[in-house]
Structures are given as C-alpha cells and as structure tokens.
Structure 1
Amino acid sequence: MHVIVLLLLTIISINECSDIKGFDDTVLFDINWPGNTGDQISILDGEGDHVIITTKFQEKYKCILPNIQEKEPTTANNYDGPSPLELIAPLFTQSSCSYRLESYWTYEVCHGKHIRQYHEDREGKKVKVQEYNLGHWDKNRYEIMLENMKTNEQESKNTPLPVKKIDGITLPYFEVVMGNGTQCELNQNKPRQTKVIYVCYIHGKHEIFSFKEISTCMYEAIILSPLLCTHPRYKPQETGENEISCSPLDDHPNKPRNLMKMIQENKKLRRRSDIDHIRVEFHPLDLNEKEELPKQPETPIDTSPVESFLAGKNCLNGGTGWWKYEFCYGRSVEQYHIERDGSKTSINLGKFNKAKHLEWLGTHPQKRPKPKNQRTQLSHLYADGSVCDKTGKARQTEVKLKCVENASNLNAVTLYLLEPRYCEYILGVESPLICDILARADENGLVENVDEDAIIEDEISTVNIVRV
C-alpha cells in the first residue's frame, strides 16, 4: 500500500495545512481508507492537519495527517556518561588501524595516529613503496577537544548533531580532523588533511566504509564503529510507519476509482499462471533420416574498438576521487574536475610528440618494448604538459599500456594514475584490448598504420570507465 503515497502526491491539492516538513525518505507512511464509519466521523471532527485531495474524476477525500515529532529518547537528555570523544578514545591507545583496499591504492587509518595512502611494487626481493601521508593526529589535540566539549556540554545538548546518509539511513556522526599531511602541489603546497567521521554501527569493527577526496587534497573517511552506540544521541533513529487516514466527502466511494482498478489488476497478475497456454505435440521420429544443419556464418571479429582507440577517437575517462583524468591515445593526458556549476578545472599532464618519444627511448632504453613473443606492455611518453609550479618545468606522463588476459569482459579497462616525482606521472591502462595492439607495435612501441588525418578530422568521443 506504500505505493499509494505516490498516487496521492500526484493528485494532492492542499486546502488547509500548517508547516509541513520537507520530504525525508526515512519517514514512512501507510495510507488507510476506513470509509464513512462512525469512528472516522470523530477523527474528521478532531483537531490536526489535514488535506483535501481531488482525483481527476472529481472524487474528494479528506486525509488526516499524522503529527510527526522528532523526539530524542528521554535517556539522551539524562545521559551523563562519557563524551563521544572519550568513547572512541580506546582506538587511539590500542594501536588500532583500519584498511581499505582499492584497485591500486591501499588506505590505512591508524586511529589517533596517522592516515596513509600507499602502493607497493614488488620486483623480486625489492619492494618499492609510493605513499602519501593524508593526515596526522596531534596528541595534545585530544585534551583540547575534551576540555572544549566539557565547557560547552550544556549548549551541545541543545544543538542538533551533524548527520550523514549512509545506505539510505541518516546517522549522527562524530568528526575528528587529522591534518599536517604531505604537502599538496595542486593546492598551493598546503598539507593534506582528512576528516575522519565515526558513526554508530553495532556490528561494526571500526572498518572504513568509504574513503574519498572531497576537494583538492582534502579527504573524508567514514568509520563504522560500535563504540559510539552506547551514547543515546548517536544511535540510529527508530522510524515506524505513520498512518494517514483518508475518508470520502459527500457520497464519493470509499476508495478512488483508479486505486480500486489498480488493486484489481494486481490481484489478477498474482493469480495468473505463466504456463496455462502451453501446447504439447508429439511427432514420430525417423532415425534413418539425416538432417543437415545449416552452416552458421562466421562472425567477423569486430576490431573497431581497437582501431578507434588507436585513432584517438575513443578517449578513456577514469578516476573515483576529486580529480578525474582523460587519456586520448596519440593525443594527450588530462586531469580535470567538474564543479557543481558545470565549469571545468583541467591540468594537461602531457601531449604526444613522436620525436620526443623517440628521444626519451634513446635515454631510457629499458622502456623499449620486448620482443613480440615476450611483450606484455608498451610505454609511451606524453610531454609538454602544463607548467608545474613546484619545479617550473612542463608536466610529463609515461603511459603504460598493459595486456590483461582471461578477463571476463573483453571491453573492460582499468586506469590508475601515479606521481612518483613532482609533476612526473605514470598512467596505467590495463585492458584485453591492449593484447591486440602489442604485436602491431614496432621496435619503438608505435603503431604506424593509423590514419593520422582521420585522427584530426574525426570527432572525438569518450568512454567512461565505471570501475577504476
């Protein structure tokens, strides 16, 4: 019957109503149609907010709206236990760390200590680690925060808690800020900073629910912890169904005509059998008769995705944080962010120039492709990007095209971007599509049979990568 709410909202016209709260999908309603009963007469004559609704068939109903009040549990006002900071303090003293593994990066949140973003490359016994510190916790800050909370204790009880919607549920949270991380060149060399948001989840193990970059070098980590659940103000709000009673006015039917029609149709669908019109026929089988099966035409292999990629027509877009990036083969690598107003902030990380690529191979011979029967990847240089404020030089990117075999989706593409040195990047492109390119590349890793004129004239399209 919850679907009726949508029906009512589409035909509702408000006659008389006091301050009705905005839509909140955590508040549930159930619509009751009691008809013209003696009990309903007393309801209609009583006090309370109500609306008059009129259907397209001019059927009129008076609906009594429930009085919804957001009441905190009485125990919240009488609560005299530890503050939220004191409740999560055991995490700060137990050397507890939480981890979140993504396709390339690993995020490490050591509560009350530091937050780290890192990736490990293993070459034999050697391990190369690329890492950024996303924030430190100052031990002196604990006492300062605790003192401030005690000073403002009475005032804070009357202040609504900040909330986050997690999986459709609005949850109060307690926030701890960790700053003084690795300097961010894209943000005027300001230190990286992370907002750690703790929410009550009774079955939680202090795991990282989500980790994202909310603005340039500013991060947000949501931690599911049972420790906050002992504080009544941080428990999830219990929401039951609120009943709306609608009764007909004058001599109109107890329920709207279209509603009755929809209920009847739903009943018919439930009763209908899916197999009541199957006819079974038996025919004798001649075992001596040989039936020639028609030859199936061979489906030619569609190479258009590879050709479009090599021609620079299909650009790949990836990235899950604040910054996204776009790679157009043979053209450029771009890092960008779309603002709420639709404006675009972009940084060019490099453009392809054949002469500079060959010069780069001359000084870095290890970047040349291996023999064709041993190749798994190709490396290309994209140079002359936007000037870097930190180094005063143009940005450049090494693009690594890697063949991934036995993938469930032949069109799947994984992108990742690294910055091993200031303004010198590595863009990894991993896909089964690359496997078709390896054998076609020459000793410089280039595919020479692409129509360069077509690259200039054809319109560029983009391919959005869902998972990076």
Structure 2
Amino acid sequence: MIFNHLCVLYLTFYVTTSIDIKNFDDTVLFKINWPGRNGNELLDTLDAETLVVSSENNEKYKCLLPHFQEKEKDTIDTYSGPSPLQLLQPLFTQLSCSYRLESYWTYEVCHGRYVRQYHEEREGKKVKLQEYYLGRLDNTQFGKLGKELEYLDNRAVEDMPVKKIDGLNMPYLQLNMSDGTECDLNGKKRMTKALYVCYLHGKHEVYSIKETSTCEYEVVVLSPLLCQHPKYKPQESGENVINCHPLERAAKKPRSLLAMEAESLKLKHQKVTVSENLLTIFNLITICFLDENAAAAPKPPPSIKDTSPVSSFLSGKSCLTGGSGWWKYEFCYGLSVDQYHLEKDGSKTTINLGRFDRNNHIEWLVKNPHKRPKPSALRKQISHFYAGGGLCEETGHPRQTEVKLKCLDNSSSPGSVSLYLLEPKTCEYILGVESPVICNLLPHVDENGLVELNPGSEDEYITVSLEDEPAGDDLDNTIANGDD
C-alpha cells in the first residue's frame, strides 16, 4: 500500500564561517547514501565531521559529512602548451567550413574567414542566389585578435566567460567578425560573435546561430581542438557522498523516503491516457512494500513493453516532422516522405518526395551497389530509396529521396532523433535521420539494408514533432559536412 502522506527527510547544515555568495555553484554534486549498519566502522576510522539527524517519524541517523571535492587546478597552473588561438589554427589554415541548414536559409561558417547566409533557387539550369555576409575576419584583424587573447589568457578560471550548453556552463573563445553585408534596417555592417567551445566528440559543427540584436549574430561552434587547453574543459567536480547510518531501531532508509521513491516509480510506469492521438506509453505495474528482514526474495517487476515514440517510429507507426520555415517535411518510415506548407486558414499544400517500395529499393541498390550496407563491424548507416513522388516540373520526372538512417554515437539522449533534408540535385533529395536507436538496428539488417521489425500493438498512429525541441535536439541544428 502506498502512503497518502509522504514525509521527506530534511538535512540542514549550518555554516558558522562567512560565506561568499559567488561561491555557490549548482554544478557541485552531493549524494546521500544509506549503507546501513554495516558501514558504522567508517565513522570511527575516518577523520570526518558527523551530524545526527531525525526524520518526522523520529528515526535517527548519524551522517558522515564529506570533505569537499575541489576541482582540479594543478593542470591549469602547470599548463604551458599552445594558446587557445594556436590550438584552433589548424582549423583556420585548412580553409574548412561548417554548415547549418534550415528550411529556407543555409548558414556557411568558414572558420577564421567569414560567416555567410544564403538561399539558392533553381529555375531549370538557372540558379538564383540570395546571400548576406554576416561577418568577416581578415589577417590584420587576426593579428590584433592574437594580442588581445594573449592578455585575456591570463584570466583565472572563475573569470572566464561561459555559455550555457545543455545545462552546463562552458568556457568559450570569442572571435569578433565584422564588415559583413550592410544592414537595411540600421545602415550598419553586419557582425557576428563566433564562440568556440570545447566538445571532445565535435567535428567543428555549428551548435546554434541566432540574431542577438538587429543584424548582430552569435554562432556557437563545437570543436575538440580547444579541449587540449585545461581552461576550456567543462568545469567539473567530484561527487560528494554523504553517508547516513541508522541509530537505535531506525531502518536502513527512512520509511517516508521509501514511500516517496515507490510513489515516484509508480507514477513513472503507470498508464498514460492524456488525450487523443497519444499512444499508451507504459503498462501499469504493481509496487509492494516488503520487509527488508524477510527471508523471501522479492519478485522482479514485470517487463515493460517499449512503446516510446522513437521505437514506434522505427516500426512504422509514427511519423516525424521537421523544418521551421515556409516548407516543413514529414517522414513516415517505410511509407513516404512529404513536403508541406500549412496556410493560415488551415489548408495544407503537400508535395510527395517519394514512397517506399521494396522492389524499387532493391533495383536502386543494384544500380548503386556502393549504397548497400557495409560489413557489420564497419556499418554506421544504411540507405533506403523512396521513389515515385510528385512530378517535378523542372525535370519532368517524379521526385525521389534517399533516406539515410545513421547511428548517432555519444548522444546525451538515447531516444533523440534528428532530421535534415538536402536537395543536391533538382527534385532529388537526401533525408538524414540520426538517432542512437538506429545503432541497435544496424546489426540486424539484411544485404538490402532491410530488417523485419517485431509487430507492434494495434494502437493508432501518432505524429512526433521535433521542430520545437531545444537546440541539442532541433532538426535544423543538424550539420551536413558531407559525411557518407
């Protein structure tokens, strides 16, 4: 039975010394551990401060307060390697560029040179180009920047400017790029602040780009090169563990805390029926309290059927939508790829970019054998062919789309899905679908890149929209670097 009234154990610590407000840091982690009576000997052997606390039910515990785990500063104090600008120099000398794609605009960041915003429209063999330079950086500015950064490099870690990325305060190196295309709104040249942030798994991709004020922009680039400098690594500290041991007749954990954890588990796994067009997410499971001293071992909870939106998508039950400009696009796995626009009156203009047919897909693989799946050990993605779309006026042929399903490693969200849509040739598209879920799919595909998925339930189809997700999962944040 779940208690209706939950009582939480509160631990209050009083510090008698003076406190510097700026030293409060929500990145310092604490964890309360309940080792039981077997760990009591630690209290006698460790030179640490203890505190006796009581719960609302008069359960007493003796808590061992940890020594604060200071952040490592030795490597910063002894670092004598290249400066941040020198670490990024290979990126600048290789004349490399990164791209961020939106439904209408494409952003080109050529590192150390310029940032450009452009849109191409094809009319037969003619290409109409609309472009704006958001900022440039020449050799003279580069030399001046090097002297400024040499001075700033002497700053203490706590004085480094930071940018919040995925909840973490990340130090960054800022390059000011000016002398862009003149702005019609204020008559000034466009300018961009390029912020380079350490990310070990990055490929110098554009994390975000936004207009901070009229014709002034901010672009964030994730680069592994900066990670060699200790000042630009994520500021982390060790987890501080507070061990609390029961006294007298108290249980290993306070009963109110056990009740709260059980209630939380119940809510996490109960049936969800919020509104129509939503899939039932979990089956209801039963949670029972067991006496911890009882001889009988508790039964494991029943397995929970995975009906998450991403798994539903892979089984062909849900569709993904992307795009934030005039045209949006919808991908239904194993069915079709559509491009559409919603009018203010609710009407919808749809252009089909291709439909999946197994025979057409296999015929396409015969003509393009390099598109077949690589050996399992080397396989990172598979390609599916969607043909027979709406007739293209420019070419006189039906539209077609190659869908690339790519394994996305090192993602902070195992259930995340990212999309991007490219048009390398007139009315011939590439739709990229990237997700950690696909990593589990790849070993099971056949020589044609197809896999037999387990049949799902008979729940209605749903549509999962990713267009309003945060930057880390935003469809338009996916970078096309020409990776195969």
Name the CA shift for 1:39/1:113 in 2 (closer, same or farther; >3 Å): same
**Gap runs ≥5 in structure 1:** 1-6, 276-317, 326-375, 381-398, 409-463
Q: Is the 8 A contact 1:66 1:242 kept in 2?
A: yes
How big is the alpha-carbon RMSD for the aligned residues of Structure 1 and Structure 2?
4.1
Larger radius of gyration: 1
CA distance in 2, matches of 1:180, 1:52: 64
CA distance in 2, matches of 1:42, 1:109: 60
* SS, match of residue 271 in structure 1: coil
Name the CA shift for 1:121/1:244 in 2 (closer, same or farther; >3 Å): same
How far the C-alpha of 1:245 sits from its partner, in A, is 0.9
CA distance in 2, matches of 1:379, 1:57: 61
Q: Is the 8 A contact 1:14 1:51 kept in 2?
A: no
TM-score, normalised to structure 2, is 0.50
Alignment equivalent of 2:224, drawn from 208, 213, 226: 226
Q: Is the 8 A contact 1:117 1:132 kept in 2?
A: yes
Q: Which residue of 1 aligns with 2:104?
A: 104
How far the C-alpha of 1:103 sits from its partner, in A, is 1.4
AA of the residue aligned to 1:143: G
Alignment equivalent of 2:33, drawn from 27, 31, 34: 31
How big is each residue's C-alpha offset from its partner over 1:141-174, in whole Å with a ceiling of 9 and x where there is no partner? 2222222343455x42465322233334443221
AA of the residue aligned to 1:56: E
CA distance in 2, matches of 1:158, 1:25: 15
Name the CA shift for 1:179/1:68 in 2 (closer, same or farther; >3 Å): farther
Q: Is the 8 A contact 2:137 2:177 kept in 1?
A: yes
**Where do 1:187-266 residues align within 5 Å?**
188-248=186-246, 251-261=249-259, 262=261, 265=288
How big is each residue's C-alpha offset from its partner over 1:277-325, in whole Å with a ceiling of 9 and x where there is no partner? xxxxxxxxxxxxxxxxxxxxxxxxxxxxxxxxxxxxxxxxx969xxxx9
Q: Which residue of 2 aligns with 1:176?
A: 175
Q: Is the 8 A contact 2:69 2:239 kept in 1?
A: no
How far the C-alpha of 1:98 sits from its partner, in A, is 1.0
Q: Which residue of 2 aligns with 1:404?
A: 350
CA distance in 2, matches of 1:56, 1:181: 65
How far the C-alpha of 1:99 sits from its partner, in A, is 0.9
**Where do 1:354-373 residues align within 5 Å?**
none
Q: How many residues align?
A: 287
Name the CA shift for 1:142/1:265 in 2 (closer, same or farther; >3 Å): farther
AA of the residue aligned to 1:114: Y
AA of the residue aligned to 2:78: N
CA distance in 2, matches of 1:207, 1:15: 44
AA of the residue aligned to 1:35: R
2:163 paired with 1:164: yes
* SS, match of residue 37 in structure 2: coil
How far the C-alpha of 1:36 sits from its partner, in A, is 7.8
How far the C-alpha of 1:109 sits from its partner, in A, is 0.5
Q: Is the 8 A contact 1:16 1:51 kept in 2?
A: no
Name the CA shift for 1:77/1:15 in 2 (closer, same or farther; >3 Å): closer
CA distance in 1, matches of 2:148, 2:349: 56
CA distance in 2, matches of 1:212, 1:55: 50
* SS, match of residue 259 in structure 1: helix
How far the C-alpha of 1:237 sits from its partner, in A, is 4.2
**Where do 1:84-123 residues align within 5 Å?**
84-123=84-123
CA distance in 2, matches of 1:273, 1:13: 35
TM-score, normalised to structure 1, is 0.51
AA of the residue aligned to 1:160: D
Q: Which residue of 1 aligns with 2:143?
A: 143
How far the C-alpha of 1:244 sits from its partner, in A, is 1.1
CA distance in 2, matches of 1:71, 1:274: 41
How far the C-alpha of 1:118 sits from its partner, in A, is 0.7
CA distance in 2, matches of 1:259, 1:379: 52
CA distance in 2, matches of 1:232, 1:158: 9
Q: Is the 8 A contact 2:99 2:206 kept in 1?
A: yes
How far the C-alpha of 1:15 sits from its partner, in A, is 4.7
Identity across matched positions, percent: 45
How big is each residue's C-alpha offset from its partner over 1:214-236, in whole Å with a ceiling of 9 and x where there is no partner? 33322221112121122122233
Q: Which residue of 1 aligns with 2:364?
A: none
Considering Cα pairs closer than 8 Å and 6+ residues apart, tell me whether 1 or 2 has the greater RCO. 2
Q: Is the 8 A contact 1:199 1:228 kept in 2?
A: yes
